[in-house]
Amino acid sequence: MAILKKSKMREMADAELQNKLFEFVKELNSERGLLASGGRASNSGKLRELRKSIARIMTIQHERKLGIVRKGKPAAGKKPEDKPMEKAPAAKAPAAASGKKS
């Protein structure tokens, strides 16, 4: 279960995302410190989810920096438009051996 869903992250402003990133990193560091000092994690899957959420936020920030716009999945019951497949260019044959004859 995600701590924060991608769709909600994408709706957030840049400042909000930066604040969430700071909170998640701070929480991850405190959880790691607790484990390093010999304590037990209250929720064993929390570390993994924190790392994933941090990665998602950083990915969204980088996409925004590059100007990449992601769209959500199509609504249920609607099919995406069928687009004809583009053909890949044919592979070229390897070049003949150069100058050496056996």
DSSP code string of 30-99: HHHHHHHTT---SSTTHHHHHHHHHHHHHHHHHHHHHT-----PPPTT-PPPP-PPPPPPPPPPPPPPPS
Query: pTM, whole model, 2 decimals?
Result: 0.65
The reply to whether 60 falls in a domain is yes
pLDDT of residue 79: 56
Domain count, the chain: 1
Is residue 50 a contact partner of residue 24, using CB atoms and an 8 Å limit? Answer: yes
- Summarize pLDDT for 34-73 with one digit per residue, the tens: 888 888 877 889 999 999 999 999 999 999 999 988 876 5
Q: Which residue range forms the structural domain that includes residue 29?
A: 12-35+43-66
The reply to whether 49 falls in a domain is yes
**Lowest-pLDDT choice from 30-34, 47-51, 96-100:** 96-100
Mean pLDDT of the 19-43 span? 90
Q: Which residue has the higher pLDDT, 16 or 42?
A: 16
The reply to whether 87 falls in a domain is no
pLDDT of residue 58: 96
Is residue 87 a contact partner of residue 81, using CB atoms and an 8 Å limit? Answer: no
| Residue 87, both tokens | 């053909």
Mean pLDDT of the 24-34 span? 93
The reply to whether 53 falls in a domain is yes
The reply to whether 101 falls in a domain is no
The reply to whether 62 falls in a domain is yes
Report the chain's mean pLDDT, rounded to a whole number.
81
| Residue 45, both tokens | 């899957």
The reply to whether 81 falls in a domain is no
The reply to whether 54 falls in a domain is yes
Q: Which residue has the higher pLDDT, 51 or 4?
A: 51
